[in-house]
């Protein structure tokens, strides 16, 4: 397992985390969708009002994966951990890093008393689906993702 260390992310990790986000976007066939700047990313995690936390997986002094999460409130379920990004570099897949990161995230949800975890997976990402199935995760059919871009929010704000 190459001396894998799982730890909480620190501000100085942000450039590497953003690199990995861009790698994930490439894999998910959406390379142009990552528009967040490093400054925005750092501020959102380590600024005055941080909105996310993350665990990083490190081996030989290099970050090879991370699990970034935040609190999501559901009027049906209460507070849940929302796993925004779960990334393991291709070179480290199958070596236990993903399992360690995911299980650390599960432990965090339990420790903080959340009413479960929720996240998204693309319907064609069979390796990820198979990984989540090992944990008996429920895949919810019938739901669509809905969003408004910053430009559309601005355009509609004056309604």
The mean per-residue pLDDT over the stretch 43-67 comes to: 98
Q: What pLDDT is recorded for position 158?
A: 79
Q: What pLDDT is recorded for position 79?
A: 98
Residues 6+ apart with CB under 8 A from 108: 55, 69, 81
Q: Say whether 132 is catalytic.
A: yes
Closest CA to 101 of 113, 92, 114: 92
Which domains can be identified in the chain, with CATH numbers? 5-156 (3.40.630.30)
Ranges assigned E (strand) in the chain: 5-8, 53-59, 62-74, 78-88, 117-119
Quick: pLDDT tens for 82-106.
999 999 999 999 999 999 999 999 9
| 113 or 145: which leads in pLDDT | 113
Which position among 69, 70, 82, 132 bears the catalytic label? 132
Kindly report the pTM of this predicted structure: 0.93
């Amino acid at each position: 397992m190459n001396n894998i260390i799982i730890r909480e992310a620190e501000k100085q990790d942000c450039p590497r985390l953003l690199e990995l986000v861009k790698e994930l976007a490439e894999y998910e066939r959406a390379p142009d969708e990552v528009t967040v700047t490093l400054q925005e990313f750092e501020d959102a995690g380590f600024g005055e009002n941080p909105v996310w936390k993350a665990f990083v997986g490190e081996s030989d002094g290099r970050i090879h994966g991370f699990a970034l999460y935040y609190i999501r409130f559901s009027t049906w379920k209460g507070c849940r951990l929302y796993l925004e990004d779960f990334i393991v570099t291709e070179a480290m897949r199958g070596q236990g890093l993903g399992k360690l990161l995911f299980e650390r995230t599960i432990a965090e949800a339990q420790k903080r008393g959340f009413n479960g975890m929720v996240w998204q997976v693309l319907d064609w990402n069979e390796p990820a689906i198979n990984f989540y199935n090992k944990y008996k995760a429920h895949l919810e059919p019938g739901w669509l993702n809905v969003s408004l871009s910053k430009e559309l929010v601005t355009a509609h704000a004056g309604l």
